[in-house]
Each structure stands twice: as structure tokens, then as C-alpha cells.
Amino acid sequence: MPWLDAVINETLRLYPPIPGGNQHSPVSGTEGRVIGQYYLPEGNQARVHTYSIQRDPRNFSHPETFWPDRWLIASNSPSPLSSPNPSSNLSSKTNKAAAFTHNNDAFLPFFSLDPADCVERDSAIQTMRVLVCYFVKRLDVRFAVGWDPLDWEKERDEGERGEKVGRLPVVVQERVRRCDS
């Protein structure tokens, strides 16, 4: 299960459902609220741009790389893959450890991290686990012929809530089951 959680976390880190982030505002009558080290007076709002924070090299090593191992390394879990770091120019263990940056506080998926945390958080995470397992077990997915996946990052437009949308042609087919005799 750690590897599945790492893949889900890495996907949410690179492609948060609400890239523009969530709004935070003090409850009326409270005279304000402290968020981290900042004071937000009543009547004001703050928005954290999740997409930028989660791709900031000050928070994550190799921020533009899909690298689920980062979550296993940060939690000291064994990795099912042999490469402990996607950067091939880091040769010694000392250099790899020194170059690794993982700020858990900068990981802000779509769940609130304050006392008003999403009550369905655990249920949502479990649902993602089940769907990913079902998807991988039952379906074959590939990009459409002639499609360059790098074009998706270049061609996306930012919507009004910060979400990035664009054409992503994929072919999804039911996986062919083989019966071994």
C-alpha cells in the first residue's frame, strides 16, 4: 500500500484538483485568524496557489518530475524501484541525501489542513486507492497515435479557479484477459 499511496500523492502534487488553491478567511466575529506565521484580519481572504507551491524546488527535489519514490524516501519506506533519485548525475549516497528536499507542509492536495479539515478525507483517499487499482487491473491506457504528451503541458489554459484544462487524447480499452492452461 505505501507504493500506491506514493503514486496517488505524487499525482496530486503535480496535478492538484484545484491548482489555484483554496480560499481561507476568518470566521465572522473572530477578529481574524493566524495561518502559519501570518495574521489574516477578519473581512479578508487568502488563497494559496497550490500548483506553484507543490512545484517549487525549495519544497521538492526535481519538482517537475513524476517521482513517487520521493514519498517513500521521506517516510523511510523501502522503494520497489532501484533508483533512489531521478537525477543521474548524483552518484554517491551522500550527494543524494544532501540533494533531497521534501517539505510535507507544502503538500496541499484538495483537503484542508486546518480544524475545518474535510470530514470525508479518509473516504476520498480510500476511494482513490480502489479506483486506481481497478483502473490498472482492468484497463489498458495509452496516448492516441501521434500525440506528444509534452504538448499537454504547453497547450493547457488556466481556468477561472486556477485549474489547467486542455485536450488530452487517450485511448482506454478493457484489458484482454488471458487464460493460462
CB 16 within 8 A of CB 50: yes
Is 36 or 110 the better-scoring residue by pLDDT?
36
Query: Using one digit for the tens of pLDDT, what is the confidence trace for 155-175?
Result: 766 655 555 667 778 899 998
Query: Using one digit for the tens of pLDDT, what is the confidence trace for 120-140?
Result: 778 888 999 999 999 999 999
pLDDT mean across residues, the chain: 78
Q: pTM (2 decimals)?
A: 0.73
* Cell numbers representing residue 38 in the block: 501570518
pLDDT of 30 = 83
Query: Using one digit for the tens of pLDDT, what is the confidence trace for 89-120?
Result: 433 343 444 578 999 888 887 655 555 556 67
Q: Residue ranges per domain, the chain?
A: 2-77+101-137
Question: According to the annotation, is 118 in a ligand binding site?
Answer: yes
E-strand ranges in the chain read 23-24, 33-35, 38-40, 46-47, 139-143, 157-158, 164-165, 170-174
pLDDT of 58 = 95
